Structures are given as C-alpha cells and as structure tokens.
C-alpha cells in the first residue's frame, strides 16, 4: 500500500488514539473549497482529463520545480508546450525521480490520488512507470473520471475558482444552466487591472472599460468599472475577492492624490514606488467596496514572482520560480485598517509566505481587529510541518476562531481530497496533543475539529 | 474539574514521569515576581476586589482583545468606563464566549484561578455564568480574598510593581509603615520622561524638575533629576528599571550632541527620527546610571503601540491593539554595548516580541556579553508553546544560566499563581525531554529546575 | 558514564526503535568532512597536541564565549596568549563552570571526546578537574593521540581545511609527499582579497600579485591572479571555495563599472556602500570562475563580525563576539543567479545564520535553481534542536536531495567524531519520526540516512 490509515498521527499511542477518534468524526464531512485555481471549463464541458503527464506533471509547479532543481530540463519535461510529444517519456522521467519527493507534501498528495483514485499500490518508480501510465490513462477515459463525476465522488459542497475581472464567466453560467447540482463559484481577482506591473496592465484597464461600459481612463470610471465587475461576480455566486500583491502595503490617499496617481500610472510614467503606492491604494479601495457589497477579501502577499528571469522570459509566469519574501503586515496594513478596521460585517482573510509573522504580527492583528481572519498555511506551507507550525504559532494569541479552516488552493483537481485529508489529519493531531496534555478536553476537541474542517470555512467565506 | 494535575506534561509516559518528578520538586517554591503591573495601592489599602467583571474582564487586554476580535463591542463590554453599569451582563457576555479562549494561555490561567481560588469545577459558559458571578462575588468579600491575604496565601516572596518617575511611592511607603511583612517594591520606569512621543512628555519633564528640585530644562539638570529619582526608588527597595521602547535602538552621542538634541526635543521642533535618536541615547544614559547605582536594567522593545487609532482616540492606551514588530538587537544595542557592554556588575535583561531574534540575535548576544541576560517569553509568548520555543531556540547557544527565570508581568493579581505554575510545568517538561533523550542527567535537571524557578530570578534581579 | 548509547533518540519507544535501527546502519560509515578549520600543519608535522587548556579551551570560541558571558575574564582564561602560563588553573576555571554548558552542543561534543577518546566516566567539575587534566595530558603524549593516528582512528575519508589565497599549501604538499594515505585537501577562501573591510586588504592584493605573477593593480590582472590561485588549490586537491560575507548581496556590474569600482576600492577612497558592492560583485565573479573550473562554491553570509569592539581591539578576530544578522537571500542572490543560476554543472552551497530564511527563502530557492544546494545548520545551529528545525523547515519544500549532508566546520579536531555522531543521530531521529507517522517507509529511511551521512556530501562537494 502507498498510504497508511494512521498516517500523520502522533506516534505516542495515547495521543494517536485521540487523534484517530477526532479524525473519524470529520473524515467524511463534505469538502468546502473556498479558494483554488481549478477551471470552470472542466465542469462546463465535462471532458475527460488528458494523459498522466499532461494531468499531473505539466501543470504542477510543485513537481517540476523539484525536478528542475535536480538538473532535469524544462525541455525534457515538455513544460510549457501545447501538445506533449511524448507523454510516456515525460512520465518516466518523473517516475524515475519520484524519490526526490520523499518527505514533501507532493508525495502525500500523489500517493493518496494514486491509491485512492487509481487503485495503485506499488510506489511510483522507473520500474512501475508504465504500469502507472497505463492504469491512469485507462481510468481517465472512464465515465467515473469525468470532472463532474469526480466532483460528486469527492463529496464536494462548494468549489471556488479564481477569475480575472474580464472573465466572461460563461463557463460558470453554463454549469448553472446545465442543471447539474454542484456549487461552483467564481472569485474576483483583479490583479491584472490594479497592479501596474502586471503584463498588459493598461490594455487590461481599457478592456475593463469596454466590458463594463465605463470610462476607465478616469479614476471614478475605473472604480465604477470595478464595482460593476464585482457585482457581476457576486450575481454568479462569488462571495470573495482575492489579491496577490508583492507586499502587504496599503495606503489611504486623498481623492485628489488618488486621481493624480491613477493618471500618472495610466500614462506609463510612474516609477516603481508609485506602482507600489497604487497597488497599496487599491487594496484600500477594494476593502471599501467589500464594506459596500459584502465580498470577503483575501490578501495573498509576499511572493517575489518570476525570480528566475531566464525561465520567465522563455516560459512566462508560474514556472516554479516564485520565492517568498519577508513581509511587514503591521505597518503595511495600518492605512487600510485605519479606514475599515473596525467595520462590522467586513472580513479580510490574510495569508503569508513569511512564517516569522505568524506569532509576531498576524496572530496579534487577527486577535484584535474584528475584520481580520487568518487564512490557512499557504503554498510552501500547505504541508504537515507547515500546518503544525501555524497552529502552534497562532492559536495561543488568536485562538481557533480567528482562523478560517482549510483552502486547497490548487490547480490540481485530483489532489483536492488528498489535500483536505492531510489538513484534517494534521489539525486532529494538533488537537490531540492539546487533549493529551489537558489543555482542552476531548469534547472540546471534537467541536473544534468540526469547526476547523467545516464550520469556519463556511462562515468566514459566507458560504 | 477544570484543570488536570498532569496538565502541560509530555504525553510520552517516561518523559511525563520525569516531568512530574521535576515539577514536584519546585511546585511549592515561593513565588518571586520581579516584573509586573500590579498596584501598590491594593496592598496599602487592602480593600476587597470589586465584582467579577471589574476584576477579570475590564482590566485584562488578553480577554477583551479576543472578544473584540470576534465582533463584541467595547461598549457592550463596558471597557474604559469608571463604573460598570451591568457587571452581571458583562460577565455573561464573557462567559458565553469563553470557548474562544480554547488553546490560549488565558484559558489556562483563568481555569486555574476559578478552580484553585474559587472552587469552581464546571467550565465557564453561558449556562454557568451566574454561578460563577455569584460564587466569585461572594468570595471576594471574605477576608481570605483581601489583597494581603491573597499575597500571603500565594506564598509570594517578593512582588515588584512598575512605576513612573513621579510616582510618590506613598503606597509603597504605607505598606512598609504598616508592619505587614511583605516585600513589595517599585520599579523605575521612565518612559514618560525619556520618550518624546509619550503623551505629555514636556509637561512630564517639568514635573520631574519640580519633584526633584532640578532644572530639567538643561541636559545636566535633567540627568540629575533622573539620578535622584532612581535613588528615591532604590531607597524604597527598587532593584531594577524598565524601559518600553518601540525599538532596541541605542546611541552614543557626544556631550555636545546630546545637549543640542535635548534642547531640540524639548522645544517641540524635533522630528520623529530625532525622537527615536533621543530615546536611543537615553537607553545608553540609563545604562550608565545603572553602572553607577547598580539597578538592573530591563528593556522591553518592539511593540507598535495603539495600532488601532479609532480605539486609541476613544479609549486611550493599553486597549489590546499593541502589535509586535520586527526588532534588530544586533545593530540597535551596539552603541550602548560599546559603552558598557563589558562592565562588571551591570545587568541588562532583554525581552522581545520578535521570536525570530531568539536564536539569531538574543542567544548569541547573551551568550557573549557579560552584562546581558534574557528575560522570559513576553506577553503573547507567555504561553506553553511560547515558553517551549524560547527554551528550544535559546538554550543551545546561551545555556540556562544566561536566562533569568520567570516574570508574570501581569496586571491581573489573581492570575499570578497560575502563571508561575504554567512556567514551572513547561520548564519541567522541557527539562524532562532533555533527560529522556540523555542530553542531561536527571540530577542536573533537578538543579536546573530549581534555578529556573527560583535561583536565577533572585540573582539576576539582585533580590 | 558521560554519554548514553540512546542519546538524542526520540522518547517514544516505537520511534526510538526505528531511530536506533537507522543509526546502526550509518554509525560506522567513514567521516566525510568537506568544510572545516583544522590545520594541515598538524598532519604534516604530526606532533603531539599540547595540554588540555591549550587544546580544548583556548581555541574554542564556543567555550570561552560562554565563560565570558558569565563574568570570567579573558585574562584569567589566558585567551590570546602565546604560551599559557598556568594551564592547570585555566582548566580548573573551565571545569568548575562546566555546568554552564548543560543543554548545549558543546557539552555533547566534549562528553563524547572525554569518554570515547580519554576513557573518562565521571562528569567534568571542579572536583574532577585534576583527574581530567592529568588523564588528558598523559594520553596526548602517546602515539595513539598523534594527529595522524587520530585521523586514522576517526575513520576519516576526507578532510578539507580552509585556506587564504596566499597560503603556500606547503603543509598539504608535505602530507602528500609523506606517503601517508590520507586525503587532506585545501579550500580556497578569498575573503582577505575580495573584502575591502578585511584587515590588510590592499596589502593582501599586492601579495596576491607577487605570488601569482599578475599585475593585481588592474581588474583583469586581479581576476587572473584569482584564477591562478584557484588553479593552484585545485591541483592540490581542492574541490571547493568558501566565502564569508556580511550579507548575501551579489551584483552584476558591467565590465566598465567593475573596472572603476576596483580602482576606487584599491585607492582607499571607496565608502562602505562601495565596499559592499565590491564584495557583491566578487561573489558573482567567483561564481563565474566556478562555472569555468568546477570548484563548488560555499557562501557563509550574515555574521556581524567583531561586535564587541573592546575585545576585538585587544584580542583580534574570532573571539566569540560574532553575532548573526537578518539576511536577505531572495534579493541578494538575484544578480548572481541571473548570470549563472541555470548553469549545468555549477554547485553553490548556501549557509545561513538566520533561521527565518530556511522555509521562506532558502528551501524555495534550492528547490528551484539547479545550481543551489543547502548547507547543514551552521555554527550556533550545529546542534540537536538546530538540526531538527533545519529538517522540519526545509524538507517539505526542498526535499532531502537539495541538501548536502553534514559539515563539522570545526577548529577542534578532537570534536569531529562527536559532531558527526550528533548529526547522524539527529537525522536518524528525524527520519524515524517520518517513518513512525507513515510519511516515508522504513526502507526509504535507510536509503535517505545513508545519503545524509555519506552520499550527498560526496556528490555535492565532488569528492
């Protein structure tokens, strides 16, 4: 077998027994996925997923960044090509280097999918490469592996995608029109029209004007266009926005200053500090709109994108070379919080790639401001040790109830059950330790486990 | 029962047995409280503590920050009002949200007080709210719950308060005059006259001149006034000073520079960098005076005070919106250490709200400079996980003997036994782990446990 | 006994059993020491080591920094003197303060050496001070304790020293010429000629020119001189360079800019920012040369050297007052990585004294760039807790195979077996935890344990 039924539980027998009991009480709860990067088109079209290389290797930066770090070339892995020429060869390259993932969450997720979805029981390696390729290929062409069938079999209650403001949302509409009873909702992600460093920023703003019928060459028209876009998303079921900024900086400019800055940014003459200031101001504007329309605001700051310039120039974004940076939430968020920090009804969910901020900044902020909640460990920290550190560093100051449950945050649809399973196990293991040394009672742990698995996500995201 | 006799001990049976034996050897040692925020007036007047809401909820920012973070209003909690209108209702609000504190140290401290002091055995909740209110109210009016009786029953050996330079110390004098055999001593905390950003800074300096008979409009008169104030504190039993600065910056200006800076700061024309430089210089001046008069110097840097401006404007300081910031001790302390770093007899105790400095900066500094010692985990880190991280991150470089034992650092007098109890348990648990994997012997652990509980605090604070 | 056969293994019985099995499989593997500070002259001359004070106390900044921090004077410890006047007295001072090292790695290393090499079984203390002094003194004069005999008995496979570019490498040559079958190789450490703040920088560059026959007053001559020096080291067996910079900053200047900067730096008129820029540029130059000649590049950044000015002025470098500082690898390394980050065949091994960078910066960088590997926990973190944190923070993102095994990095030759033993035990304990909660299989753990102990160091350092 690839995975053990007691995986990720504490070794101490007493604590393990408690963890198992807690996990048994939440393992079958429906999956709530309020933040991720799956694509609505999969579910509107409901076509079979392609071959194993295209499905598992090509879109998963967790996988190819590790392979690249060990000297495999992007060319050999056929990353970034439209049609993989030799998927069986790509798969074999991956298979023969699968040992590199020992001790990583990728290994946990994949082994779960391989065993639970595809019935494979011998570890992936060069030896089993073809067996895997053939088994997975075959199953992907059966009705049970069509996107909608998988969604249903995953026992999903809601799945949020992440979408640009121009997205037609036609695929979301098509899902609704199809009569299929699934809750797949969009998330409003305006980076492409609020970040002057985003590729095509000015064209994007023009396009935003066309889509909304607003004059986006003016500050007020631009804000109205954003408002209208948010409303369109909200009508399609969106309950949240999402913001991926290089820092957590926010600003609180006067109207006059904002008008001038917007004009300069649009003119293309703004420098990088002004770009940063514009992003900062836009977070505050987005928060103001969230007070108006009730959309939950997610902030994902602190990634130095496209660090490897050569790969970026050849392959574009999301190629595995985004690196976390130190992030200052205390000063960064202050301007925004001075505007909306005490607003009833507002929810802002903070994420981080800088774990030194968990106990120093994020837990104290979320443990005070009524609008702030802490998102789960993100990206590199969506892992057993990462989740454990999160709870250990956050709970004593912010408690459990200022956190929001789990996000799978994935492009890899097939990994969703595995990711939620890891989170449930790790949270139950953490709770079991608190029970074992009498910090909370077992009865309380059952309640909290249910909240961490289900209740908090539902409430924080207004689902 | 609310608390278990084996709470906070490791789950592994062998390790737990060691931890219990260590704890049994220190549990009954007297409480040494060298740094805290209780009030001398309680003990000079020895009047009953007021109702449960006034006693537990209103003064405890750990409590109302959490309640506020979850949407309760300061108005409903009657924070900041002189006379609580409806203490039973405030108490019920707290009781019905007590579950929010699961996993926090507040929960550990309160449950200890509820059970050990008030004999309550069913968890606080909306259901038990009135039972708690009535039980606590009744006991508070019995002689055993008067401040002096509690002090005696807590088995306290010494208790230090924290006092402004103008404080008359009349309450301390009254305690001495009363013949009650308790050691309650002041601590010299000059923030109000050394920090130009402190409310009323210039008036405070004028007042300092009046109290000491020095011309505090001159640099030398100002320093003399501080010297005289320190001497007055020392005569009233003080052994230490305390300094709460936004950063750990220190400076080493020439006499001429210092005179000019002081004049500018007093004139009100200094900018924020000059304010920071003045604070920095004053840390060095205070260190120089400590070399002269032997007072132990405590530095508590790195809190961004009053982060929530709206609450600050309405309720003032200490309202739960102080947020830690990243702190640089290596560059910050260098000027001061160049002046006094190798002075025999000088003791400077460093605290931090930035845990990333434990292993990177604080342990290496304290493991080298003879004047430096590390204070216990402070504020948000006065908690089981916080204390465990402190030992794990500090001990391998600085050892145990460059630390100073526990500070309860509390305004909540009734929580003092609980806080010391948590510290004793967590330290014994840590030592037990070192014994269990043979890093130290059990005999050594008994010696170290006694030092961490009692000996180090006595010696570090010259008590 | 001083050390227990199960030391550093997890307390949980199941996990301990796994850890022991793993350790048994690697305990007898030969020692690979690719980075350290032992001296070739010991092995070329093969003379007896001096008395215990000279051997253990005087050269070991881990020891005297702790003693100094607790008030012992450098004079009493006879630090920095050529000939210790009273070694027995120095030893007694150390012995009577040996309890200060409880919980530190120094204690683990010394107890190992005392027991395993010298057969001592009662703990060092004032009482046993003379027994230790006499026992050690006696053994040091036996043939079995001569440097070469110890090297052989330690079962060392390779030992790298660290050497300035001018070093004649005569001792290395003498070892080769002697016919003794040991592999002792130099490492090219050019700090003294690439860091303008290094004492004697300009004279060093002149000397470099004399040694290499190049005109080091020109940029191209200077680079050629470095190239020739590297080649001389390579011929003497060197496989690596080493770079100790205050930061991780790198630069990518144009030829013209570099020529001008070099001239200014040589003129003595450069300011501290230009010194930093020069160091930054030189890291990139060194990386370019590594692409050419295949030498593995080690970067050890982030130490604020000689923090205690008074001691530095009296005793010089390496006196225990080097303090870590926050380090930025993401921005710092970018210029270098833009030049050589994707070069096949290049290996750059990164070290840190800022543990907050493990998960935030170093693991993501090493988990992407093919040239980057992570060195083991360095200096203050060469310790059980430090190593455990390293694995916990790094593995989930970078895996095991982007790390390079253990470095003892020591001046203390007699501690080498102890240090490797600690690393082997801690790594096996970590792996055992992954096995115990089913993250990897026991069979995989055996493979990985072998890699962490032996294989990775051999391959990463091209040994």
CATH of the domain at B375: 3.20.20.140
Q: In chain C, what residues touch A10 (CB-CB under 8 Å)?
A: 437
pLDDT band at C7 (very low <50, low <70, confident <90, very high): very high
Residues 218..247 of B with a Cβ closer than 8 Å to C: which? none
* Cα angle for residues A67, A76, A321 (degrees, 5° grid): 45
| CB-count burial class (<10 Å; 0-12, 13-18, 19+) for A90 | buried
Calpha distance B310→A340 (Å, rounded): 10
State mean pLDDT over A245-264.
98
Query: Any chain A CB within 8 A of the CB of C433?
Result: yes
Task: Write a three-state SS string for B64-127.
Answer: HHHHHHCCCCCCCCCCCCCCCCCHHHHHHHHHHCHHHHCCCHHHHHHHHHHHHHCCCCCCCCCC
Per-residue confidence (pLDDT) for residue A320, from 0 to 100? 82
Lowest mean pLDDT among B51-65, B223-237, B328-342: B51-65
State mean pLDDT over C225-245.
98
Per-residue confidence (pLDDT) for residue A284, from 0 to 100? 98
| CB-count burial class (<10 Å; 0-12, 13-18, 19+) for A271 | exposed
Residues 28..47 of B with a Cβ closer than 8 Å to C: which? none
State mean pLDDT over A136-165.
97
Domain boundary (A83, A116, A145) is at A145
Whether residue B62 sits in one domain with residue B186: no
Q: Choose the mutation target among C103, C351, C393, C421 for the interface with B, i.e. most B CBs under 10 Å.
A: C103
Domain assignment present for residue B18? The answer is: no
pLDDT band at A317 (very low <50, low <70, confident <90, very high): confident
Q: In chain C, what residues touch B397 (CB-CB under 8 Å)?
A: 104, 380, 383
Domain assignment present for residue C232? The answer is: yes
Looking at CA atoms only, how far is residue B24 from chain A in angstroms? Answer: 17
Q: How many CB pairs under 8 A join A and C?
A: 127
Domain assignment present for residue C27? The answer is: no
Whether residue A202 sits in one domain with residue A59: no
Whether residue A98 sits in one domain with residue A179: no
Domain assignment present for residue B389? The answer is: yes
Query: Any chain A CB within 8 A of the CB of B355?
Result: yes
Tokens of B459: 């010696």
| CB-count burial class (<10 Å; 0-12, 13-18, 19+) for C424 | buried
| Interchain CB distance below 8 Å, A69 and C328 | no
| Interchain CB distance below 8 Å, A65 and C436 | no
Collapsing DSSP to helix, strand or coil, C390 comes out as helix
Mean model confidence pLDDT for chain B: 97
Query: Any chain B CB within 8 A of the CB of A400?
Result: yes
Residues 281..340 of A with a Cβ closer than 8 Å to B: which? 328, 330-331, 334, 337-338
Per-residue confidence (pLDDT) for residue A319, from 0 to 100? 84
Per-residue confidence (pLDDT) for residue A59, from 0 to 100? 87
CATH number of the domain at B79, please. Answer: 1.10.2020.10
Query: Any chain B CB within 8 A of the CB of A365?
Result: yes
- Complex confidence, ipTM: 0.97
Domain boundary (A101, A130, A145) is at A145
Calpha distance B275→B362 (Å, rounded): 25
Per-residue confidence (pLDDT) for residue B59, from 0 to 100? 87
Q: Structural domain tally of chain A? A: 2
Whether residue A396 sits in one domain with residue A349: yes
Nearest to B102 among A341, A364, A399 (CB): A399
Domain assignment present for residue C3? The answer is: no
Domain assignment present for residue B197? The answer is: yes
Calpha distance A162→A38 (Å, rounded): 8
Q: How many CB pairs under 8 A join A and B?
A: 127
Inform me whether the pLDDT recorded for B334 exceeds 90.
yes
Residues 81..120 of B with a Cβ closer than 8 Å to A: which? 99-105, 107-108
Whether residue A397 sits in one domain with residue A456: yes
Whether residue A281 sits in one domain with residue A135: no
Query: Any chain C CB within 8 A of the CB of B356?
Result: yes
pLDDT one-digit tens code per residue, C186-199:
999 999 999 999 99
Tokens of B99: 């579950």
Whether residue C290 sits in one domain with residue C181: yes
Give the CA distances from residue C373 to residues B174, C34, C346, C356, in Å, rounded to whole numbers and listed in that order: 66, 14, 10, 17
Domain assignment present for residue C17? The answer is: no
Inform me whether the pLDDT recorded for A80 exceeds 90.
no
Domain assignment present for residue C19? The answer is: no
Looking at CA atoms only, how far is residue B83 from chain A in angstroms? Answer: 24
Q: Choose the mutation target among C323, C325, C326, C353 for the interface with B, i.e. most B CBs under 10 Å.
A: C323
Whose tokens are 């700051």? That residue is A301
| Interchain CB distance below 8 Å, B321 and A368 | yes
Range of the domain at A88: 48-145
| Interchain CB distance below 8 Å, C330 and A353 | no
Whether residue B134 sits in one domain with residue B160: no
Whether residue C335 sits in one domain with residue C219: yes
Whether residue C137 sits in one domain with residue C243: no
Nearest to A14 among B7, B11, B307 (CB): B11
Residue B4's nearest CA partner among A417, C197, A435 is A435
State mean pLDDT over C32-48.
97
Q: In chain C, what residues touch B15 (CB-CB under 8 Å)?
A: 11
Looking at CA atoms only, how far is residue C273 from chain B in angstroms? Answer: 17
pLDDT one-digit tens code per residue, B81-137:
989 999 999 999 999 999 999 999 999 999 999 999 999 999 999 999 999 999 999
Query: Any chain C CB within 8 A of the CB of A144?
Result: no
State mean pLDDT over C64-75.
96
Task: Write a three-state SS string for A345-404.
Answer: CCCEEECCCCCCHHHHHHHHHHCCCCCEEECCCCHHHCCHHHHHHHHHHHHHHHCCCCEC
Strand order in the sheet with B372-374: B240-243, B296-299, B348-350, B372-374
Whether residue C306 sits in one domain with residue C177: yes
Per-residue confidence (pLDDT) for residue A86, from 0 to 100? 96
Collapsing DSSP to helix, strand or coil, A253 comes out as coil
For residue A445, give the chain B residue with the closest CA: B102
- In this prediction the pTM is 0.98
Domain boundary (A127, A145, A163) is at A145
With a pLDDT cut of 90, the percent of chain B lying above it is: 97
pLDDT one-digit tens code per residue, C288-314:
999 999 999 999 999 999 999 999 999
Whether residue C423 sits in one domain with residue C281: yes
Instruction: Give the chains touching C; criterion: ≥3 Cβ pairs < 8 Å.
Output: A, B
For residue B434, give the chain C residue with the closest CA: C103
| Interchain CB distance below 8 Å, B8 and A439 | yes
Looking at CA atoms only, how far is residue A187 from chain B in angstroms? Answer: 25
| Interchain CB distance below 8 Å, B330 and C311 | no
């Amino acid at each position: 077998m690839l995975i053990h039924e007691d995986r990720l539980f504490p070794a101490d027998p007493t604590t393990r027994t408690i963890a198992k009991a807690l996990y048994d009480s939440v393992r079958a709860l429906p999956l709530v996925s309020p933040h991720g990067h799956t694509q609505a088109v999969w579910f509107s079209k409901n076509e079979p997923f392609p071959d194993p290389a295209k499905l598992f290797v090509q879109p998963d930066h967790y996988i190819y960044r590790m392979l690249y770090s060990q000297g495999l070339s992007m060319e050999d892995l056929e990353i970034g090509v439209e049609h993989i020429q030799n998927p069986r060869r790509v798969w074999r390259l991956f298979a023969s280097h699968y040992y590199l993932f020992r001790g990583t969450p990728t290994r946990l997720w994949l082994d779960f999918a391989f065993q639970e979805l595809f019935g494979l029981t011998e570890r992936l390696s060069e030896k089993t490469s073809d067996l895997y390729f053939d088994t997975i290929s075959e199953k992907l062409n059966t009705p049970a592996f069509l996107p909608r069938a998988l969604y249903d079999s995953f026992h999903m209650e809601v799945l949020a995608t992440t979408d640009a403001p121009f997205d037609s949302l036609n695929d979301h509409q098509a899902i609704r029109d199809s009569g299929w009873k699934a809750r797949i909702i969009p998330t409003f992600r305006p980076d492409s029209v609020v970040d002057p460093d985003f590729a095509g920023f000015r064209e994007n703003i023009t396009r935003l004007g066309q889509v909304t019928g607003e004059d986006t060459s003016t500050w007020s028209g631009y804000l109205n266009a954003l408002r209208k876009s948010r409303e369109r998303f909200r009508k399609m079921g969106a309950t949240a926005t999402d913001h991926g900024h290089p820092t957590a900086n926010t600003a609180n400019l006067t109207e006059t200053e904002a008008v001038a800055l917007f004009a300069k940014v649009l003119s293309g003459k703004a420098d990088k500090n002004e770009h940063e200031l514009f992003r900062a101001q836009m977070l505050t504007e987005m928060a103001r709109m969230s007070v108006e329309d009730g959309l939950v605001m997610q902030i994902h700051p602190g990634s130095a994108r496209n660090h490897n310039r050569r790969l970026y120039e050849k392959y574009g974004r999301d190629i595995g070379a985004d690196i976390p940076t130190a992030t200052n939430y205390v000063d960064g968020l202050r301007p925004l919080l001075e505007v909306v920090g005490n607003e009833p009804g507002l929810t802002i969910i903070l994420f981080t790639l800088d774990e030194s901020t968990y106990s120093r900044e994020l837990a104290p902020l979320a443990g005070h401001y009524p609008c702030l909640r802490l998102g789960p460990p993100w990206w590199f920290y969506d892992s057993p040790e990462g989740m454990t550190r999160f709870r250990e560093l956050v709970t004593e100051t912010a408690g459990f109830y200022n956190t929001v449950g789990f996000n799978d945050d994935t492009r890899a649809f097939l990994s969703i059950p595995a990711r939620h399973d890891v989170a449930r196990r790790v949270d139950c293991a953490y709770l079991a330790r608190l029970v074992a040394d009498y910090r909370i009672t077992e009865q309380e742990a059952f309640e909290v486990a249910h909240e961490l698995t289900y209740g908090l996500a539902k409430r924080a995201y207004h689902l």
